[in-house]
Amino acid sequence: MKHYVTVNDIDSSSDWIDLAGELKKDPFKYKELGRGKSIGLLFFNNSLRTRLSTQKAAFHLGMHCMIMNFGSEGWALEFEDGTIMDQGKAEHIREAAQVVSQYCDVLGVRAFASLSNKEQDEAEIVLNGFKKYATIPVLNMESAIEHPLQALADLITIAEKTEKKSPKVVLSWAPHPKALPHAVANSFVKIMKQNSQFNFSITHPQGYELNPDITKDVPIVYDQEEALAEADFVYVKNWSSYSSYGKVLSTDPHWMITKEKLGQAQFMHCLPVRRNVVVEDAVLNGDQSLVMEQANNRTFAAQVALYKILKGL
Amino acid sequence: MKHYVTVNDIDSSSDWIDLAGELKKDPFKYKELGRGKSIGLLFFNNSLRTRLSTQKAAFHLGMHCMIMNFGSEGWALEFEDGTIMDQGKAEHIREAAQVVSQYCDVLGVRAFASLSNKEQDEAEIVLNGFKKYATIPVLNMESAIEHPLQALADLITIAEKTEKKSPKVVLSWAPHPKALPHAVANSFVKIMKQNSQFNFSITHPQGYELNPDITKDVPIVYDQEEALAEADFVYVKNWSSYSSYGKVLSTDPHWMITKEKLGQAQFMHCLPVRRNVVVEDAVLNGDQSLVMEQANNRTFAAQVALYKILKGL
Amino acid sequence: MKHYVTVNDIDSSSDWIDLAGELKKDPFKYKELGRGKSIGLLFFNNSLRTRLSTQKAAFHLGMHCMIMNFGSEGWALEFEDGTIMDQGKAEHIREAAQVVSQYCDVLGVRAFASLSNKEQDEAEIVLNGFKKYATIPVLNMESAIEHPLQALADLITIAEKTEKKSPKVVLSWAPHPKALPHAVANSFVKIMKQNSQFNFSITHPQGYELNPDITKDVPIVYDQEEALAEADFVYVKNWSSYSSYGKVLSTDPHWMITKEKLGQAQFMHCLPVRRNVVVEDAVLNGDQSLVMEQANNRTFAAQVALYKILKGL
């Protein structure tokens, strides 16, 4: 049984990129593959792009889609084993995951980091709870520490837009008023590392180091101007501190991305984006922005992942 | 690109009415037209009839439907340009509208009037935000100042039910405990004016004048009894004051519609309706009520609008 | 017009069980039966199994499915006749039920007991309101006093798993921190009584007697150990007091089901279940538990009910 819960589940980047290209040209090419198959999409958090693009991908593959906002529509879940469930939790993940497996052929799960309990977040209690007890493949629609559908869409976008074999790609932190998870940044770093042709580095203020197990061997440059010099792609994203877990240490506006800072590089962001906080209007409104291509590629990233899952059923 | 955001988008009432009749006889006649096409329905407000009838219409046309309760499932939207988005709004309408356009072929939007900010309501910031930045046709599922799907269903209903060439149609205000928007009344007035065969007038208490730009040239009669005399169709609806914007100036029960007041006329209302406040039970339970035909025609109104949009893709 | 609102609507248990078996072997066998037909699923309460299994059943039968969380997405409903609706309720059940009938061919409704107003709960005001005014068949997705889809799934499960002609089946109350409705227990008792081959009894503490009209002629044993002796199937469920309506009279942990108490019997529960409160982990994790078979059979129970309804259209 094949899951797609981390970018590590990609067995061949080039094959996956090629398949995305093929699907983009002919989205309904494999519409028979999912016939009679149901995918359940369980949302523990809000979603716009993931919600619509995953449905669209399933539609292209001929799948039947069932969606639940689990928090408001289902039952509060218990994730601990051996608990006496006499408090607020009505259902254990063991039952919930197995039950959903009775009704679906594939299971999508979105469950963000709490940013308050590092140990629980790193254990991916929701995603891994479903993965452990479900008897069907699991599709990660953004978990506490990874967002592999986004990273795959990002990789496809860079592959489409690069004119160089080894483009310089920089992941830059940017300010944000709220504490945000690390999932998008983590998955982007991992997928950049998996594809060694990229000249990849990270820039952020001191104290914003991502999990060092993930960034191992990636150059970290604390001077943003130096980092961005001669970049071909600048991927911008806010995240909260990892060492001071979930804290906002800085909202320094000097880290905002401007058209000037961008130079000749193409701009990337996963969206939603805070205009004139993360990046100035001139970038988003200009022709160096790839954010709409990234959003569009979310459909084909999801479709590639579902294709691989369906083939493995 | 054809939108259906106002009744002004109807190019020929008689053609649209004829098409509705054709679809009503054979709802799946054009089920190939929407094959492979997706419609996104974004709800910023509650909905029963619009939610189900638009889905049904899309189903009849073979379309794939994706629904979002935007407020609770998506991200809070910013509509102002040039803002520094460091407050509660997570995504700008520019991105949201363009992103949704990546996943859908048609976009339905429901966003009511605030009734607190007249300028913003009249600018239709939500609907027009999507219309401006989306790259796909927009279907108005009730906006701040129009409800063109309801008005089209109303027109179809009158066309089906009239035995006269020039029936007398009266729009009567009725009391209601809450402040309600003007959208239904506005669109009904506009569609009546577009179809000059109707002998159309409006009755309401002083202070409840609708936007004079919309009611221009329509007789306004402040005496309800006089207004309703010899009417063929009485369309009843509450709305809040336009001049004292969003205020409830009167809940005078004498304006409630009764069987006696109705005379021989047929009764119309868009629903939901407050029984024994807006209209007495005897009317709704009697055979002069057309409310179920109106509700039924919502499906075919939506189907006509979507047919026109799909033909224009 | 055939409804499925109570287990009394089953005309032949053996036929329905046989049909479930047939559908389980070939779920899409009757996929043409629902073509072009729409089912509306209205949820007034949370749901996991019912939500997904009913959708799945409809999908197997080729039906189009429209789902509403009525409380948050629709309008607050008035159920009393003759009311002056000048308070919080925006729409009367008469209109709501008839309107939904314009858009759907079958209507599913889930509306739990309030547990605060016995008279209203026993009158099934929501379910019966829809049944009375809808002009299409109604499917009960758990109402104030019955859960006939669950009971049918339970019957199918026992039929599949029994090796005896007259197995001993015991319904045992178990503790729970919250006040729960009687619907599951009621429907299970009724379906056991309808099928006289079962050696059926009930065990619960004093004060937890179910509605005596329903349990009439069923042995009630107040000693759980005595009741469970030599049982083949033990159906465990909490419910609140019926005589002291909606009250939690006891949370005595001695009534929790253990592996030891279970003996050789097979364990049944409708889920969600509180682990180590209602039943100990060892039972749910062991091979005497049928809860996943019950959950799986929810799909085929719903499919049998919808098949019967579609055949009766």
Spatial CB neighbours of C162, under 8 Å, sequence gap ≥ 6: C232, C233
Facing residue for C52 by CB, picked from A40, A95, A98: A40
Residue A73 in tokens: 């529509």
pLDDT band, very low/low/confident/very high, at B1 (cuts 50, 70, 90): confident
pLDDT tens digits along A182-200: 999 999 999 999 999 999 9
Residue C131 in tokens: 């049944």
A138 in the same domain as A36 = yes
pLDDT of the residue at B306: 98
pLDDT tens digits along B163-179: 999 999 999 999 999 99
Q: How far apart are the C-alpha atoms of A296 and A300, rounded to whole Å?
A: 8
Residue C75 in tokens: 């309008």
CB spacing of B66 vs A56 below 8 angstroms: yes
pLDDT tens digits along C262-286: 999 999 999 999 999 999 999 999 9
Note whether C29 contacts A: Cβ–Cβ < 8 A.
Answer: no
Q: What is the mean pLDDT of residues C188-205?
A: 98
Answer positive or negative: Cα dihedral of A88, A92, A97, A103: negative
Spatial CB neighbours of B40, under 8 Å, sequence gap ≥ 6: A52, B66, B67, B68, B100, B103, B104, B106, B107, B108
Q: How many A/C residue pairs have CB atoms within 8 Å? A: 85
CA distances from A202 to A113, A125, A184, A188, A239 (A): 22, 28, 13, 11, 13
CA distances from B309 to B34, B53, B58, B137, B180 (A): 10, 17, 12, 7, 30
pLDDT of the residue at A112: 98
CB A210 within 8 A of CB A171: no
CB spacing of B66 vs A46 below 8 angstroms: no
**CA of residue C26 relative to chain centroid, distance:** 24
CA distances from B25 to A264, B17, B29, C77, C194 (A): 59, 13, 9, 32, 44
Eight-class DSSP state of C4: B
B273 in the same domain as B170 = yes
pLDDT of the residue at A113: 98
What's the angle, vertex CA A68, arms to CA C270 and CA A123, rounded to 5?
90
Q: For chain C, which chains pass the contact test of at least 3 CB pairs under 8 Å?
A: A, B
Query: At how many degrees (to 10) do helices B93-103 and A49-60 cross?
Result: 10
pLDDT of the residue at B94: 98
pLDDT at residue B71 tops 90:
no
Quick check: is B164 in a domain? yes
Spatial CB neighbours of C153, under 8 Å, sequence gap ≥ 6: C294, C295, C297, C298, C300, C301
Nearest CA in chain B to C105: B56
ipTM of this complex prediction, to 2 decimal places: 0.96
Provide the 10 A C-beta neighbour count for residue A50. 21
pLDDT at residue B3 tops 90:
yes
Residues in chain A within 8 Å Cβ distance of B72: 46, 69, 72
A299 in the same domain as A256 = no
Spatial CB neighbours of A177, under 8 Å, sequence gap ≥ 6: A248, A251, A274, A277, B86, B87
Q: How far apart are the C-alpha atoms of B57 and C50, rounded to whole Å?
A: 26
CB spacing of A85 vs C277 below 8 angstroms: yes
Q: How far apart are the C-alpha atoms of A278 and A203, rounded to whole Å?
A: 14
Q: How far apart are the C-alpha atoms of C85 and C149, rounded to whole Å?
A: 34
CB B252 within 8 A of CB B222: no
pLDDT at residue A1 tops 90:
no
Helix then strand count (H, E) for chain A reads: 13, 11
Q: How far apart are the C-alpha atoms of A126 and B172, rounded to whole Å?
A: 55
Q: What is the mean pLDDT of residues B4-32?
A: 98
pLDDT at residue C161 tops 90:
yes
pLDDT of the residue at C1: 80
Task: Kindly state the helix (H) or strand (E) to which residue A150 belongs, with its residue range.
Answer: helix A148-161
Instruction: Tell me which of A95, A109, A136 to substitute to probe the interface with C (most C C-beta atoms closer than 10 Å).
Output: A95
Residue B129 Ramachandran class (φ > 0 left, ψ -120 to 50 alpha, else beta):
alpha
Q: What is the mean pLDDT of residues C254-265?
A: 98
Q: What is the mean pLDDT of residues C123-149?
A: 98
Quick check: is B167 in a domain? yes
CB C274 within 8 A of CB C284: no
pLDDT tens digits along A262-306: 999 999 999 999 999 999 999 999 999 999 999 999 999 999 999
For residue C12, the distance in angstroms to the closest alpha carbon of chain B comes to 34
A279 in the same domain as A157 = yes
B203 in the same domain as B158 = yes
For residue B37, the distance in angstroms to the closest alpha carbon of chain A comes to 10
Q: How far apart are the C-alpha atoms of A173 and A188, rounded to whole Å?
A: 13
Q: Is A244 exposed, middle or buried (0-12, 13-18, 19+ CB in 10 A)?
A: exposed
**DSSP-based three-state secondary structure for B42:** strand
pLDDT at residue B143 tops 90:
yes
B137 in the same domain as B160 = no
pLDDT of the residue at B270: 98
Q: How far apart are the C-alpha atoms of C300 and C24, rounded to whole Å?
A: 7
Q: How far apart are the C-alpha atoms of C185 and C210, rounded to whole Å?
A: 8
- The total of structural domains in chain A comes to 2
CB spacing of C46 vs A74 below 8 angstroms: yes
Q: How far apart are the C-alpha atoms of A5 and A132, rounded to whole Å?
A: 12
CB spacing of B52 vs C95 below 8 angstroms: no
Residues in chain C within 8 Å Cβ distance of A78: 275
B253 in the same domain as B285 = yes
pLDDT band, very low/low/confident/very high, at B308 (cuts 50, 70, 90): very high
Answer positive or negative: Cα dihedral of A94, A95, A96, A97: positive
Q: How far apart are the C-alpha atoms of C255 and C174, rounded to whole Å?
A: 5
pLDDT tens digits along A81-138: 999 999 999 999 999 999 999 999 999 999 999 999 999 999 999 999 999 999 999 9
**In chain B, which among 69-128 make CB contacts under 8 A with chain A?**
72-75, 78, 81-87, 90-92, 94-96, 98-100, 102-104
B127 in the same domain as B34 = yes
pLDDT of the residue at A203: 98
C235 in the same domain as C127 = no
B116 in the same domain as B47 = yes
Buried b (16+ CB within 10 A) or exposed e, A289-302: bbbbbbbbbbbbbb
Note whether C271 contacts A: Cβ–Cβ < 8 A.
Answer: yes
Q: Is C216 exposed, middle or buried (0-12, 13-18, 19+ CB in 10 A)?
A: exposed
Quick check: is C2 in a domain? no
Give the domain CATH number at C286: 3.40.50.1370
Query: Alpha helices, DSSP H only, in A216-290?
Result: 224-228, 259-262, 281-284
A239 in the same domain as A299 = no
Q: What residues form DSSP beta bridges with A42?
A: A68, A109
Q: How far apart are the C-alpha atoms of B83 and A284, rounded to whole Å?
A: 13
**DSSP-based three-state secondary structure for C217:** coil
Quick check: is B52 in a domain? yes
What range defines the domain where residue A162 resides? 150-290
Looking at residue A247, its amino acid is K
CA distances from B194 to B148, B151, B164, B168, B187 (A): 13, 11, 18, 15, 10
**In chain B, which among 206-265 make CB contacts under 8 A with chain C?**
251
What's phi and psi for C146, nearest 5 deg?
-145, 155
Quick check: is A130 in a domain? yes
- Closest by CA to C269, choosing from C162, C171, C167, is C171
Q: How far apart are the C-alpha atoms of B139 and A72, rounded to whole Å?
A: 28
Q: How far apart are the C-alpha atoms of C184 and A168, rounded to whole Å?
A: 62
CB spacing of C69 vs A73 below 8 angstroms: yes
Using a CB cutoff of 8 Å and minimum separation of 24, what contacts does C9-16 make? C9/C148, C10/C148, C10/C152, C10/C191, C10/C194, C13/C155, C13/C191, C13/C194, C13/C195, C16/C152, C16/C155, C16/C304, C16/C308
pTM over 0.90: yes
Eight-class DSSP state of B312: T
What's phi and psi for C88, nearest 5 deg?
-80, -15
- Closest by CA to A140, choosing from A132, A130, A215, is A130
CB spacing of B64 vs A69 below 8 angstroms: no
CB spacing of A95 vs C291 below 8 angstroms: yes
Residue C151 in tokens: 């009971």
Quick check: is B2 in a domain? no
pLDDT band, very low/low/confident/very high, at B54 (cuts 50, 70, 90): very high
pLDDT band, very low/low/confident/very high, at B23 (cuts 50, 70, 90): very high
Q: What is the mean pLDDT of residues C86-94?
A: 96
Quick check: is A227 in a domain? yes
C163 in the same domain as C271 = yes
Task: Kindly state the helix (H) or strand (E) to which residue A3 belongs, with its residue range.
Answer: none
Nearest CA in chain B to A289: B95
Quick check: is C1 in a domain? no
